[in-house]
A and B are shown apart, each in its own frame.
Chain A
Amino acid sequence: MSAGAHSDPPALEHAPADAAFEEALRPASFSAHVRETLRSSWLFRLGLGIVLIALFLTVFGPYITPHEVEKATSDANLAPSLSHWFGTDPNGFDVFSRVLASARIDVTIALAATLFSFVIGTFIGLLTSYFRGWPGEFVMRTTDTVQAFPLFVLAIIVVVMSGRSLRNVILVVALLNIPIYLRLCRSQVLTIRERVFVEAAKANGGSGLFVAFRHVLPNTLSPGLAQIPITVGFAILVTAGLSFIGAGVQPPTPEWGAMIAAGADGIVIGKWWSSVFPGVAISLTVFGFAVVGEALRAIFLRQEWK
């Protein structure tokens, strides 16, 4: 309320939903909003922390492992101990080192695939939605048809049959996610296109269009950008799943899903460590990314309402 105005009104004793009221007091700019969320939400801090650790491991993971990653260093199936914090797996590898090293594989694949699908999905979505006419409809119908496939099975087929190389895994995972970005971008463009054209018509012809572009693009991108961390998490799950059933990353390359598979037989007879720790790694990492993605989405929504 303005400074020169009357003093604060006498409060009603029964003011309802106070917590909602207080909670809705949020700062205005993007960075301020991020800072505010950081300050107020332990969940966001946790998620961001996990993501940062994951990124750190992606770069430095293989260099800080206590043991060799692709060579057996000890006897097989040793329980966790001081020398092997996570124990050893059925092949004698140190589980802890491999968990750390796998981060690079899983996260890199996920990041590359996500970036790829974001760029291509957004690009196609932008082009086909901005200009009216049949390309938009055609692309949507194609996407619908693609999504009718049992996509995971398709992924298995493609990866197995074109060689289980990292590149193929990245491509397949990227393909799986293109539709999402396509749709997100398209729905944004369709809404904004109407809004902005009206304003541009009111303004002066040419310069209006230029301004239109300047405003269309940022708003189109934000839902897609907020979706990126979520897709990264999803991509990790897909990669791990594929590797688990043998249709993904090949041993001895360390990968969380493959590690779980290696230790799977052991679990039912009590040798839990080989499968549990990589699973925890996946679970935490994907969770961290998911949290960050959700937080970003909430932040972007407020942003758009300005």
Chain B
Amino acid sequence: MTLFLLRRLAFILPQLFVVIVGTFVLLRALDVDPVSKIAGSFATPETTAQVEASLGLDRSLGAQLQSYLGGLVQGDLGESWTTNEPVTSEIAKRFPVTIQLIGLGFGIAVLLAIPLGRSSAANPTRRREKITTVYALFAGAQPDFWWGLIFAFVFFFKLGWLPAPLGILNTGVSGPSGPTNFILIDTLVHGEFDLFLSALKHFVLPVMTMTFVLTGPILKIMRQAALDVHESEYVLYANAAGFSGKVTKKMITRNSFAPVLTVIGILFGFSLGGAVLIETVFSLNGIGRYALQSTLNVDFPAIQGAVIVMTAFSLLIYLTMDTAYALLDPRVRYSRV
């Protein structure tokens, strides 16, 4: 088992390295000019040269890469070219927002999808199956940002049940500068329950949007996995061996869970990138929006930082999912990576 983990880890590091270098090179290879953006249109050649030197773009690609990697190893992601703040701290403030959004969205979606997928596989021809399939297809086809707007329209504008899509807290209110930067945790830690509730309420719409769209593909996979197990040889034998329905059901659940994990991991990774849409709609200060703004500002260190953090996190999630899979299904443990 530990061998399994080590082998997977050993593979992640080169992957991460490729991503870091790849992004670095890609940005400098694309046809953009951050220098003129910062120096301005009326810059003189001297100013331009100055800016270029300060950004480090006058040096060779190799030299730039070297110093960047050097800083990276020490945990330094450089400084944003727009704000001159350390990228690390900017991301540290924003990443938790995205995590909370996606975490909650996924968590609820999975909780909803498990029983639905299971029951629809157990009764393969009833009306419930038709409804589940249609719903799964429909939900998966939705533009999440649009639904975010709709939900905001219905629940905020029309019904007034939930707060405006303008960030995590009401305008003018600031959260605690707590230990973890996860606002839901920090508010609790500081005992500020009304802030906690307020933040929670602000999260409802964005999370609801995420969950709505996610249940589509997750339900589909759950159902397929449960179906595969349902029709397997060992379930047939369990029936022939006289095990009760309850026992077989438990067996089916445990056996169908594992294959779902990998796909959920991949979905998670993709949602991380796609979170920018919901963050934009609800004015959430997450890392997706940070990446977008940095791109529009041609702010290389910020972009790189965002991409690296997101990638590292995705890889971590994949590793976790694969490990969980191996724990659940012993067949996987001894095969090669």
Which residues of B145-190 have CB atoms within 8 Å of chain A's CB atoms?
A: 145-147, 149-150, 152-153, 156-157, 164-165
Q: Does A3 contact B (CB under 8 A)?
A: no
A294 vs B138: C-alpha distance in the bound complex, in angstroms?
12
The contact string, 1 if C-beta is below 8 Å from chain B, for chain A 152-189, is 11101110111100000000000000000000000000
Name the segment of A84-92, A212-220, A285-293 touching the other chain. A285-293
Instruction: Tell me whether B31 and A161 are in contact (CB under 8 A).
Output: yes
Name the segment of B40-48, B108-116, B238-246, B275-283 touching the other chain. B275-283
Q: Does A64 contact B (CB under 8 A)?
A: no
A267 vs B156: C-alpha distance in the bound complex, in angstroms?
10
B15, B16, B153, B276: the one contacting A268 at CB < 8 Å is: B153
Q: A150-B311, A268-B164, A276-B150 are in contact. Are A157 and B273 (CB under 8 A)?
A: no
Instruction: Tell me whether A283 and B143 are in contact (CB under 8 A).
Output: yes
Q: Does A80 contact B (CB under 8 A)?
A: no
Taking CB atoms, residues of chain B closer than 8 Å to A294 are: 133, 137
A123 vs B188: C-alpha distance in the bound complex, in angstroms?
54
Instruction: Tell me whether B277 and A268 are in contact (CB under 8 A).
Output: no
Q: A148-B311, A260-B149, A279-B149 are in contact. Are A153 and B143 (CB under 8 A)?
A: no
Q: Does A103 contact B (CB under 8 A)?
A: no
Instruction: Tell me whether B141 and A287 are in contact (CB under 8 A).
Output: yes
Instruction: Tell me whether B19 and A287 are in contact (CB under 8 A).
Output: no
The contact string, 1 if C-beta is below 8 Å from chain A, for chain B 289-313, is 0011001101000010011001100
Question: Taking the nearest CB of chain A, how far is it from the CB of B204, in angstroms?
Answer: 16
How big is chain A's contact interface, by range? 35 or more
How big is chain B's contact interface, by range? 35 or more
Instruction: Tell me whether B318 and A156 are in contact (CB under 8 A).
Output: no
Q: Does B211 contact A (CB under 8 A)?
A: no
Which residues of B284-337 have CB atoms within 8 Å of chain A's CB atoms?
A: 288, 291-292, 295-296, 298, 303, 306-307, 310-311, 314-315, 318
Instruction: Tell me whether B277 and A150 are in contact (CB under 8 A).
Output: no
Taking CB atoms, residues of chain A closer than 8 Å to B311 are: 148-150
B-contacting residues of A (Cβ < 8 Å)? 17, 19-20, 23, 43, 144-145, 147-154, 156-158, 160-163, 233, 237, 240-241, 244-247, 257, 260, 264, 267-270, 272, 275-276, 278-279, 282-283, 286-287, 289-291, 294
- Given contact pairs A153-B306, A156-B295, A286-B143, enumerate 19 new A-B contacts (beta carbons under 8 Å): A19-B125, A145-B18, A151-B270, A152-B274, A154-B307, A156-B291, A157-B291, A161-B32, A241-B274, A244-B277, A260-B145, A267-B157, A268-B157, A283-B141, A286-B142, A287-B138, A287-B141, A289-B141, A290-B141
